[in-house]
Structure 1
């Protein structure tokens, strides 16, 4: 993607808009369906009201969650949604009204916003430090100890409680609900979540979760044998005012969607009484998109965010629920090998963002080319052509994308793709053994250094948070 110099626009918007306020949230339980709505206010000039709806399922028990705890779970989702609307004008001050935040909680959110917006800042040519990005403030005078309706306005000094001021204590209640040995698996429609689903569904009770269903996500869960009442659907709606302002030239760009998915998953875990949330983020997601920086398109899929998120949930919400990436020990290459054996999904999976609305492969983007490359050591050219509809290795126009993927270019694509090392190993393997690299790519210098495909397939990264039973299942599928 091309960078744009929007520093002056950023500075001007911060002067024109001083404050972004998280005004309120609404939670409704009706007929087994849970609905959330949030009210964000940009300097009293624009209001944004995004919504989230979770349709009823037989295994949900929303009525069994106390109101104060349900509100606390919803608040975390609102805090994550907030940044998608704040980035329109990037005002220096953000005021949070539903609950008060401790300094440690503020630090968590500010780190997430800054790193999750790394791509947004980079591509917009914006230079700003984490400390300068925003001031995150509680509503003036409000001290909340639990449910928002119990808030009171403090008069004078903060009241001491066990040696701590109320301002130093969490304002939202912890979640105290019994959880069962059940697992949620978010499904994105690509190969990674298919591998997680296939590894786990015959070993334990597993419920797929889909945000804003589309062709590939629905086809994948149905290929796995789930009917409509056996998987979870999340209907997320953006406020149209944001889309209108984007079209008018306000700031726009990537936000940390996987962080939003993380907090939605926590809410759904308690609604379904599921102890485990098994993500499908691989070890490759830790690599920076821009070499030599911390800018990572996949920041909210990284082990750093996973660790921060787990700590935040344990300290502030609940210590029993377990959020982890089942595929964290693996590379994209290892996942591709496992997926190559899941033949029933080959006609229905999709990893192409450009073609997501039409349930197709565009054949022109980094996701398409990377997926072809990473599968090439394990699937024949004929099978790959059947999946993608054409031979991507014969498309000369994809050369610039290949150079970004294999490290010849200065910056990787801002997409969820594997490491430069993996791409180089696949190129070497395909060019030498399978012959699937055509003459169109012969001009790209063949990587001669680095590990081979077989070298990478033998790895198992030990920096992960898999509970022991899940690690054992994964190793069994790898034959380790």
Structure 2
């Protein structure tokens, strides 16, 4: 087994609008492509800024191939990196793959190194980008709340997605604004090997990957900011492993947001901004904001079980996974019961078979699920609120966990936690003028 993962220098063909990325691992060669839509700005793809971002994108996309054997050395002999970029790469391959290491019991933290030429420039020359916003759409509640916030604060935006399917397509259709879609084609041999003995598989930092692709689009088509929809609870980890906290949502965390924002800013001479519009909010607060708009009720989904690389494998909501349970839970205190049941098609809180899942979400058993779910105390606070809610206090799960909730946390702490969930945080990276407009609207 090799101890080195080789990243070749990527290429971009302006005539076909296709980028190619090549990787080698223990004699295995992989190639993946990104196909961009027509309409790139003249000369955008030849700027040193685009070339720098293309190089960095090649490294970030490489995690999908690296994880097959997870060696200790990353080699990019044709890609110059400065000190900040080297730290960024190590962060993506360490913390971005933290869940992968934990679930495969691989100790890699503080053991990875990268071999690459030194880039003496700390910052690329400044470029000019039009004052326009690119908004990644995931098909779930979060990005659609961002749609509402931007729309009501007068910010024009273009929806963006990689390999859109299912609820992404239907949500963008409801938005009614022409999108930018990029087709990412993974090497099929990598996908096959991930199922074979002798190779590893697991979670990769998809937000980091899609953010780099969005950055390429920002330069190709002219956008000065990429607006994410990551909430503050994304910064909470799942378990301790190999001496540090591992987080399923690491590339959605505030720490990573600040890191990648600096990298993208330096690569564009300060022209490209990157931030999350929902960072001040808890998941519960976002759920309350979602209730203001009904047009997405029949098209959105946050369920990962039914929406994978292969496409739509079922209904919008499976109703069985931790993500479905969590989203149902945080909507329940704020949304009319008949509307919530119409969205999910069933009452997930009145099924005794779901009790164990809700206990994990609320920290009453097991560990926080490896899913994009909110903070443990937030889930506990929402469950507590339902014990006093006319529509929900008799639901099977709510009745079953009430005593243990009060015993473990105590009523004062649960009340305080719910109040905190509905209080906006000042710990965010939103430009002040936009933050003020959003705060004035989101009351």
The answer to whether TM tops 0.5 is: yes
Shift of the 91–278 alpha-carbon distance from structure 1 to 2, 3 Å rule, reads same
Shift of 1:452: 5.2
Q: Which has the larger radius of gyration?
A: 1
Partner of 1:258: 207
- Cross-structure match for 1:353: 304
Is residue 294 from structure 1 mapped to residue 294 from structure 2 by the alignment? no
Distance 1:136 1:381, change over 3 A: same
> Residues 282 and 422 of structure 2 are in contact (CA less than 8 Å); yes or no, is this contact kept in structure 1?
no
Matching residue of 1:28: 13
Gap change, CA 1:383 and 1:291, over 3 Å in 2: farther
Q: How much has 1:410 moved relative to structure 2?
A: 3.8
- From 268, 273, 279, the counterpart of 1:322: 273
C-alpha displacement at 1:430, in angstroms?
A: 1.4
Q: How far apart, CA to CA, are the structure 2 residues paired with 1:311 and 1:459?
A: 28
Distance 2:146 2:397 in 1: 35
> Which among 115, 120, 131 is matched to residue 137 of structure 1?
115
Cα distance 1:243–1:64, how it changes in 2: closer, same or farther (>3 A)?
closer
1:439 and 2:403 equivalent? no
How far did 1:61 drift? Answer: 1.2
Runs (5+) with no aligned partner, structure 1: 1-15, 144-166
1:267-300 per-residue CA deviation (whole Å, 9 max, x = no partner) reads 1112222111110001111111126952111110
Contact 1:334 1:456 in 2 (8 A): no
Q: Deviations over 1:16-59 (max 9, x none)?
A: 213211123120112xx62111110112x2111011111125xx
Cα separation, 1, equivalents of 2:390 and 2:64: 44
Separation (CA, whole Å) in 1 of partners of 2:140 and 2:184: 20
In the alignment, the residues of structure 2 paired with residue 476 and residue 201 of structure 1 have an alpha-carbon distance, to the nearest angstrom, of 13
Runs of 4+ in 1 over 3 A off after TM superposition: 62-65, 451-454
Note the C-alpha offset of 1:68.
3.8
Alignment of 1:461 with 2:410, yes or no, is: no
Match status 1:232 vs 2:180: yes
SS at match of 2:319: coil
- Residues in 2 aligned to 1:78 and 1:465: alpha-carbon distance in whole angstroms: 26
Instruction: Indicate whether 1:343 and 2:294 are aligned.
Output: yes
In structure 2, the partner of 1:121 is: 101
Superposed CA RMSD: 2.0
Cα pair 1:377 1:434 within 8 Å, conserved: no
- Structure 2 residue 320 is matched with structure 1 residue 364: yes
How far 1:434 sits from its partner (Å)?
3.1
Picking from 19, 37, 46, the partner of 1:55 is 37
Check the 8 A contact 2:19/2:34 in 1, yes or no: yes
Query: Which runs of structure 2 are paired with 1:30-429 in the superposition (5 Å)?
Result: 30=15, 34-43=17-26, 45-57=27-39, 60-61=40-41, 63-130=43-110, 132=111, 134-138=112-116, 167=118, 169-170=120-121, 174=124, 176-202=126-152, 203-226=154-177, 230-249=178-197, 250-290=199-239, 293-356=244-307, 357-358=311-312, 360-429=316-385
1: CA distance, partners of 2:33 / 2:132? 27
**Which moves more between the two structures, 118-127 or 184-193?**
118-127
* Structure 1 residue 110, shift from structure 2 partner: 0.6
TM-score (norm 1): 0.84
| Higher mean C-alpha displacement, 121-130 vs 279-288 | 121-130
| 1:161 counterpart residue number | none
SS in 1 for 2:149: helix
C-alpha contact 2:14 2:45 (8 A) present in aligned 1: no
CA contact (8 A) 1:429 1:452 kept: no
CA–CA distance in structure 1, aligned partners of residues 49 and 441 of structure 2: 38
How many equivalent residue pairs?
A: 426
In structure 2, the CA distance between the partners of 1:291 and 1:390, relative to structure 1 (3 Å rule), is farther
Determine the C-alpha separation between the residues in 1 that align with 2:82 and 2:127: 24
**Cα distance per residue 1:391-417 (max 9 Å; x no partner):** 111222222211110011241011111
State the TM-score, normalized to the length of structure 2: 0.91
After superposition, the C-alpha distances for 1:405-434 in whole angstroms (9 at most, x for unaligned) are 001124101111111122112111112123
Deviation at 1:205, TM superposition (A): 1.8
Contact preservation (8 Å) 2:352, 2:396 = no
**Following TM superposition, by how much is the alpha carbon of 1:98 offset from its aligned partner in structure 2, in angstroms?**
2.8
When structure 1 is superposed on structure 2, of 237-246 and 353-362 the one drifting more is 353-362
Structure 1 range deviating more: 405-414 or 182-191:
405-414
